[in-house]
Amino acid sequence: MITIDGSEGEGGGQVLRYSAALSLITGEPFTIENIRGGRTKPGMMRQHVTALEAAAAIGGAEVNGLAVGSDHLTFRPGSVTPGEYHFAVGTAGSTCLVLQTILVPLMLADKPSRVVIEGGTHAMAAPPFEFIAQTLLAVIAKMGPSITATLERHGFYPRGGGRIVVEFDPAPLRPIECVDRGKPVSQKAEAVVAGVPHDIADRELSAMQKILSDWPQESFVPRQLSADEGPGNALLIAAEFEHVTEVMSGFGKIGVPAEKIGKTTAKRMAGYLASGAFAGPYLQDQLLLPFALARGGAFTTVKISQHTRTAIDLIELFTGTSFRVSPGEGKAHLVEVAR
């Protein structure tokens, strides 16, 4: 039984999600104490409970302590069973973070699966659907498994109500090198609004244009959704290269000017572009588990996040596989599977 202090490292829901995925893959049971101990509201939130419920459902796991507000959990895995699954967060909690918990176990299963997840698709503190579909799954496809994700309905904070459908065609993982992102192919900055004034999108796009001034004007696009999918506002900036597409996001918040949200989001993309790296801040920690299980490979990335350092520690704890992180060219870092 592996014992984990949930307040160490990143100290949030990532510890739960990564531990559950690793447990299903390795067959190692684990206990977590002090779940989200360093957060303002410690213990599990609704989306964390749903993520662990999803892991337990696909893996026939026995789980103790699984409840909103719980600060401890014991997880004993069974065998991963591919098939049809439906999970509902019940709030605007992230569908993408629930997916990340079961993604690798299902893409390594012996048969295809289809998973429907309902909840938030575009909210702060989580990658948006477009990152999963355009960035993460595209890299995983290069490693073998084929996974398609469809957004059937947007879900914004605080209402939620979004719906994604994910179909898995499993395959063994092969190591790949993701060092060079290649030449630029296209750029797009989209301001999405639903049930809020359209001028918010215009103001956000204007602020983004000032930061990404070398992008063509036609790259900046407003998008109006039906009011019943809102209220909500999301900024999505996609930079497509030969070998990877990076998606940066920002989300409207009451009391924060549209111009500030547009400027901040565009600066994130500008930082990624200047780094020359393959993987941005969202992608770096999501590549670690597939690379470790492929037993090889390397990628360049931006500044190493606490999420990534925590994931590295958990992977080594469960599998014995470690990573070597070293300075790359320019502002990039090189992450390699060490053993």
| Cβ atoms 241, 183 nearer than 8 A | yes
Give the separation between CA 238 and CA 235, rounded to whole angstroms: 10
Q: Return the exposure string of 218-241: e unless at least 16 CB atoms fall within 10 Å of the residue's CB, then b.
A: ebbebeebeeebbebbbbbbbbbb
Give the separation between CA 124 and CA 152, rounded to whole angstroms: 20
Instruction: List alpha helices for the chain, DSSP H.
Output: 13-26, 46-59, 95-107, 129-130, 137-143, 199-211, 258-275, 281-294, 306-319
- Report, in angstroms and rounded to the nearest whole number, the Rg of the chain calculated over CA atoms: 19
For 101, other C-beta atoms within 10 Å of its C-beta total 27
Which is nearest to 297 in space by CA: 264, 267, 335, 260?
335
For 216, other C-beta atoms within 10 Å of its C-beta total 10
Give the separation between CA 295 and CA 337, rounded to whole angstroms: 7
| Cβ atoms 155, 163 nearer than 8 A | yes
| Cβ atoms 51, 17 nearer than 8 A | yes
- For the question of residue 307 being annotated catalytic, the response is yes
| Cβ atoms 239, 269 nearer than 8 A | yes
- Scan for tokens 């104490």, then name that residue: 33
| Cβ atoms 168, 82 nearer than 8 A | yes
Question: Phi, psi (5° rounding) for residue 64?
Answer: -115, 140
Catalytic residue among 48, 122, 154, 307: 307
Annotated catalytic residues are 307
